[in-house]
């Protein structure tokens, strides 16, 4: 057995997902010697199995739905012919178009040494990866998360899909049964339904449980209208193989029901990738939820940072990118930069989309914060009416002295419309700041101005205001 080569670096990173790549690119371009270790595909889950392929499939479903429903515009609407193999090719073409930006070649061009192998700590300041031992001043663990496979009786005898395999299908599922009604499950349900599959969703609690229930119901009603069978408060008791398909025994509303399908997709959450990293050897505290970190994203071994999903907080690509910036400031400049999550947004890319940032109405109440929720519907927006996309609303949560605490938007392009509210929460802006902007007409973005203005409506048109105006009109 040959002796392993020792590499000395300023920063060594395990995991080439969005967070790890951002740290590697930033540190290398600032002159640091960087080693990046990745055992799988560059780009990680987001590029290969998550955000990118799912949004590409959602776009295909949206195109099909536009053809199907275009009669409302006076255009010849009809049931579209869908070539699922070409949909699959579209999805992988989108991945392929982005992949060069995350490739080994690009990062080597930036001066990063990429090791394509599994990496694990063998001491507090050493990682073993393939034929190398990497010693570094600082380390970053960015190994992400993987689909959680629940202990369902019979599952080990049944073929099933996760987000890592569902985008490999070249034949459309006849009947896709989805276990889990979170964002991934619901997005995939609508996309596959619009592409012609029969879809059943089984959720143990309520779908999209982290979001405003009123907003979720707008999405729920659209899914039901499109023909998706949603079983909430339902427990999967067991699964069995049924010919070339699968049968799921579901306990729902006090009865046991059997759902027969062609494919089974598991979307019941994710678990941090902490196994086989040698974390014990590096004196790094962790649990199945992820690696424990402080506000500077340092682990119990202060040489080591953990970012993204493996750090056990918000499992979003944009959070991993944000974490990368925190680590760069700490590791490169020794600045005590800390994580601030009060303005972390999230979006579920259904149609209509559902986006949120900051405190919800319920969260403010639970925390004992004095706040008022104000809503404005898209049916009051002229652009939404022109596009026949009036489902949904925006709800702003406003605190003392008009301070914006949070917002939820459910409607067309909600993911785009949430950004000014992210800025408002981050910077502590007031409803008057949002109400005072000049919004171009006609745009969906006017809803933000209108809901902020609605906060002041009761006071503006009160009897007291009318009295003051009446007095003012008597002045010469």
CATH classification of the domain holding 361:
3.30.390.30
Residue positions in the annotated binding site for FAD? Answer: 55, 119, 143-145, 309
Grouping H, G, I as helix, E, B as strand and the rest as coil, residue 105 is helix
Q: What is the mean pLDDT of residues 19-47?
A: 96
Whether residue 406 sits in one domain with residue 259: no
Q: What pLDDT score does 117 carry?
A: 97
The Cα–Cα gap between 225 and 217 comes to 12
Residue 470 clears pLDDT 80, i.e. is over it = no
pLDDT in tens, 162-173: 999 999 999 999
- Indicate whether 400 and 417 sit together in one domain: yes
In the numeric block, which tokens belong to residue 446?
């006017």
Does the pLDDT value for residue 1 go beyond 60? no
Backbone angles phi, psi at 472, to 5 degrees: -65, -35
Return the DSSP state at 303: T
Does residue 298 belong to any structural domain of this protein?
A: yes
Q: Do 231 and 316 share a domain, yes or no?
A: no
pLDDT of residue 462: 60
* 34 and 132 together in one domain: yes
User: What does the pLDDT read at residue 253?
Assistant: 82
| Arithmetic mean of pLDDT over the chain | 95
Domain annotation covers residue 395: yes
Per-residue pLDDT for 19 more than 90?
yes
| Strand boundaries in 56-131, DSSP class E | 113-115, 119-123, 126-129
Q: Quick one: 246 and 278 in the same domain?
A: no
341 within a domain of the structure (yes/no): no
Choose between 44 and 467: higher pLDDT: 44
For residues 177 and 326, state if they share a domain: no
pLDDT of residue 473: 74
Determine if residue 185 is left, alpha or beta; phi over 0 gives left, psi from -120 to 50 gives alpha, anything else beta: alpha
- Count other Cβ atoms within 10 Å, centred on residue 315: 21
- Tell me whether residue 51 is in a domain: no
Residue 466 pLDDT: 62
Measured at the CA of 220, the angle between CA 52 and CA 348, to 5 degrees, comes to: 25
Structural domain harbouring 428: 346-460
Query: Which amino acids are annotated as binding site, given as ranges?
Result: 55, 119, 143-145, 180-187, 203, 269, 309
Query: Do 18 and 132 have their domain in common?
Result: yes
For a pLDDT cut of 90, what percent of the chain falls above it?
A: 92
Residues 241 and 253 in one domain: yes
Q: What is the pLDDT of residue 461?
A: 61
- Nearest in space to 263 (alpha carbons), one of 406, 140, 358, 165: 165
Last residue of a domain, one of 213, 237, 268: 268
Which CATH number fits the domain that encloses residue 172?
A: 3.50.50.60
Question: Is 368 inside any structural domain?
Answer: yes
Give the whole-number percent of the chain exceeding pLDDT 70.
Answer: 97
Q: Which of 305, 333, 361 is the C-terminal boundary of a domain?
A: 333
In the annotated binding site for NAD(+), the residues are 180-187, 203, 269
Q: Is residue 74 in a domain?
A: no
Question: Does 87 map to a domain?
Answer: no
Q: What is the mean pLDDT of residues 366-373?
A: 95
313 pLDDT band, cuts 50/70/90, is confident
Q: How many domains does the chain have?
A: 3
Peptide bond into 415 cis (omega under 30): no
Residues 12 and 120 in one domain: yes
For residue 471, pLDDT over 80 is answered with no
Q: Would the pLDDT of 463 be above 70?
A: no
140 pLDDT band, cuts 50/70/90, is very high
Indicate whether 419 and 315 sit together in one domain.
no
- Location of structure tokens 């998360």: 145
Does 111 lie in the same domain as 31?
yes
What is the structure's pLDDT at 457? 80
pLDDT tens track for 314-334? 899 999 999 999 999 999 999
Q: Indicate whether 199 belongs to any domain.
A: yes
pLDDT tier, 459 (very low <50, low <70, confident <90, very high otherwise):
low
pLDDT tens profile 183-199: 999 999 999 999 999 99
Same-domain pairing of 256 and 190: yes
Report the pLDDT averaged over residues 57-62. Answer: 98
Out of 245, 268, 291, a domain closes at 268
Structure tokens that stand for 213 in this block: 């229930």
Nearest by Cα to 418 from 267, 209, 212, 213: 212
Out of 239-253, 277-291, 437-451, pick the least confident: 239-253
Ranges of H-type helices in 201-351: 213-225, 317-333
* 216/412 Cα distance (integer angstroms): 14
> Residue by residue, what is the 3-state secondary structure of 15-55?
CCCHHHHHHHHHHHHCCCCEEEECCCCCCHHHHHHCHHHHH
């Amino acid at each position: 057995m040959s002796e392993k080569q020792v590499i000395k670096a300023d920063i060594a990173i395990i995991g080439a997902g969005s967070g790890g790549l951002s740290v590697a690119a930033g540190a290398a371009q600032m002159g640091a010697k960087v080693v990046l270790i990745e055992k799988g595909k560059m780009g990680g889950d987001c590029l290969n199995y998550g955000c990118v392929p799912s949004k590409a499939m959602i776009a295909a479903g949206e195109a099909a739905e536009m053809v199907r429903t275009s009669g409302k515009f006076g255009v010849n609407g009809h049931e579209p012919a869908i070539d699922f193999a070409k949909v699959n090719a579209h999805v992988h073409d989108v991945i392929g178009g982005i992949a060069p930006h995350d490739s080994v070649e690009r990062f080597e061009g930036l001066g990063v040494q990429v090791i394509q192998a599994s990496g694990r700590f063998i001491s507090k300041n050493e990682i073993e990866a393939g034929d190398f031992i990497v010693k570094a001043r600082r380390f970053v663990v960015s190994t992400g998360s993987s689909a959680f496979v629940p202990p369902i009786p019979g599952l080990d005898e049944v073929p099933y899909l996760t987000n890592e395999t569902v985008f490999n299908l070249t034949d459309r599922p006849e009947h896709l049964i989805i276990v889990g009604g979170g964002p991934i499950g619901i997005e995939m349900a609508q996309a596959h339904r619009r592409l012609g599959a029969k879809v059943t969703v089984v959720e143990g609690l309520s779908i999209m449980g982290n979001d405003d229930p009123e907003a979720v119901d707008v999405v729920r009603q659209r899914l039901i209208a499109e023909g998706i069978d949603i079983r909430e408060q339902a427990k999967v008791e067991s699964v069995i193989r049924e010919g070339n398909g699968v049968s799921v025994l579901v306990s729902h509303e006090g009865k046991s029901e059997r759902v027969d399908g062609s494919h089974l997709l598991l979307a019941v959450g994710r678990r941090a990738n902490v196994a086989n990293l040698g974390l014990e050897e590096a004196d790094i505290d962790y649990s199945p939820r992820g690696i424990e970190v402080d506000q500077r994203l340092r682990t119990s071994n202060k040489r080591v940072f953990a970012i993204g999903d493996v750090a056990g907080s918000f499992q979003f690509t944009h959070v991993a990118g944000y974490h990368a910036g925190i680590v760069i400031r700490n590791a490169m400049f020794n600045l005590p930069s800390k994580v601030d999550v009060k303005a972390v947004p999230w979006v579920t890319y259904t149609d209509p989309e559902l986006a949120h940032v900051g405190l919800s109405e319920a969260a403010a109440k639970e925390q004992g914060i004095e706040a008022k929720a104000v809503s404005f519907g898209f049916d009051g927006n002229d652009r939404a009416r022109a596009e026949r996309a009036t489902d949904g609303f925006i709800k702003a949560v406003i605190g003392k002295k008009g301070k914006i605490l949070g917002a939820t938007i459910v409607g067309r392009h909600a993911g785009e419309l949430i950004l000014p509210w992210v800025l408002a929460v981050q910077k502590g802006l007031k409803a008057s700041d949002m109400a005072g902007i000049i919004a171009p007409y006609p745009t969906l973005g006017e809803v933000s101005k209108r809901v902020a203005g609605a906060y002041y409506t009761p006071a503006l048109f009160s009897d007291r205001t009318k009295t003051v105006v009446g007095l003012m009109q008597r002045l010469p």
